[in-house]
Amino acid sequence: MLAVSTLMRLYLSHRQVSYVSSHRAKVPESFADKISLEDHQKAADYTTAKVRFGRLPLFYEVILLLIWTLGGGLEWLNQFVLSYEIDPIFTGIAVILSFTFISAMLDLPFSIYSTFVLEEKFGFNRTTIKTFIADIFKGSLLGLVLSVPLLYVVLWLMQQTGEQWWIYTWLVISGFSLFMMWVYPTWIAPIFNKFEPLEEGETLNRITSLLERCGFSSNGIFVIDGSKRSSHGNAYFSGFGRNKRIVFFDTLLKMLNDDELEAVLAHELGHFKKKHIIKGMVISFTTTLVGLAILAWLMKVEWFYTSLGISQPSTYMALLLFTLILPVFTFAFQPLLSIFSRKNEFEADAFAAQQTDAKYLVQALVGLYRENASTLTPDPLYSAFYDSHPPAPVRIAHLNAQA
Ligand SMILES: [Zn+2]
């Protein structure tokens, strides 16, 4: 499976690079009056540079996975922690956290390269070394504070609640994700970005009237300093219930005029109105339950450990091995998730076309494609496999039909 998924990834990345490169010379007909050749070529170069760079961590991940399992890396780490003879649950936490820390350190060169070389080269990087380091510290600290109690509860349930542990664990994990979604907008996101209420004025009036028209209540419309890290623009909703926030990146406000901004917001509201958030949660909770059921079965069979290079079965090792090898098997489901996501994007676009005018969303999207150097000519197979959003020409054509 590792060989199959790796070859598939390489094949897709090869297709994307050659397709984008072969369409580099000319702006697609439907964009010819809106996007200059220079911008089109920048997008092509940016896209291929990112895909080409992605191959290196791909090989690196495969090698690391083999070293951790068959190469005896995890076995060594486990024996090392076991030699301290601490409480079994804390042994589990120590092994999992050490593994996470070492993996994060090993990944660091790639995120440094991506931020300070690749993004920099195309003029998108705004992250300073200071912000980069501060992010790592804040992220690690937050990760520790949140993961230690959760791991403790999960490992305790795995050991103490018998055959049904996976059902209790599922309830705890689901409750924890809901809690995180609830606290994220007000408590977590502000650790990394500065939030300021959108200033009074024409933009705010337009947005407020759109929200009223759609019967949507939130606890605030905010602007964050996205420009602190990157010049890419974005907007999002977060939280649920009454704790919902609408968040615009300052970079997006610079890119779009009020009509376009209203259209983008209407699209985001469409995701709420069409219940995409809830559907996504149902899918995620269901797959977690299935995953835990499979883990409950694997945990009891010896070959699961021995075939992955572990001599001493334990609950925490089962959990760690499972999460480590899972992506190799779930890769095959990626296209299904992409189909679901693209279907939602079309629905949200249709909602925006009803609430505002499709032509403003088209303008906004074209502006965003240009400013973010997104390719207008992705390889169809690559796009079908990975893309959460419809390819630019398809999406624009759909919207134009509704204008
Ligand atoms: Zn969307």
Contacts of residue 298, defined as CB under 8 A and 6 or more positions apart, other chains included, come to 304, 318, 322
Of the ranges 32-36, 118-122, 240-244, 304-308, which one carries the lowest mean pLDDT score?
240-244
Average pLDDT over residues 171-196: 92
Residue 398 CA to ligand 1 center (angstroms) comes to: 14
pLDDT in tens, 329-380: 999 999 999 999 999 999 999 999 999 999 999 999 999 999 999 999 999 9
Is the pLDDT score of 242 beyond 90? no
Chain center to CA of 260: 25
The pTM for the full model equals: 0.90
Map residue 369 onto helix, strand or coil. helix
pLDDT for res 90: 96
Residue 335 CA to ligand 1 center (angstroms) comes to: 17
pLDDT for res 236: 81
Q: d(Cα 167, Cα 161) in Å, to the nearest integer?
A: 10
Is the pLDDT score of 217 beyond 90? no
What confidence category does residue 34 fall into, taking pLDDT thresholds of 50, 70 and 90? Answer: very high
**Surface-to-core class of residue 95, CB atoms within 10 Å of its CB (0-12 exposed, 13-18 middle, 19+ buried):** buried
pLDDT in tens, 293-322: 999 999 999 999 999 999 999 999 999 999
Residue 185 CA to ligand 1 center (angstroms) comes to: 19
Of the ranges 93-107, 232-246, 280-294, which one carries the lowest mean pLDDT score?
232-246
What confidence category does residue 233 fall into, taking pLDDT thresholds of 50, 70 and 90? Answer: confident
- The catalytic residue positions are 268
Structural contact between residues 315 and 298, judged by C-beta atoms closer than 8 angstroms: no
Is the pLDDT score of 243 beyond 80? no
pLDDT for res 58: 93
Residue 271 CA to ligand 1 center (angstroms) comes to: 7
Average pLDDT over residues 129-155: 96
pLDDT in tens, 102-127: 999 999 999 999 999 999 999 999 99
Average pLDDT over residues 125-132: 95
Residue 268 CA to ligand 1 center (angstroms) comes to: 6
Report the 3 state secondary structure along 261-294.
Answer: HHHHHHHHHHHHHCCHHHHHHHHHHHHHHHHHHH
Map residue 391 onto helix, strand or coil. coil
Average pLDDT over residues 16-27: 96
Average pLDDT over residues 48-53: 96
Residue 107 CA to ligand 1 center (angstroms) comes to: 29
Residue 27 CA to ligand 1 center (angstroms) comes to: 25
Amino acid letter for position 266: A
Residue 261 CA to ligand 1 center (angstroms) comes to: 14
Q: d(Cα 44, Cα 161) in Å, to the nearest integer?
A: 54
Structural contact between residues 218 and 206, judged by C-beta atoms closer than 8 angstroms: no
Q: Which two tokens stand for residue 372?
A: 């973010």
Residue 305 CA to ligand 1 center (angstroms) comes to: 41
pLDDT for res 395: 95
Average pLDDT over residues 19-42: 95
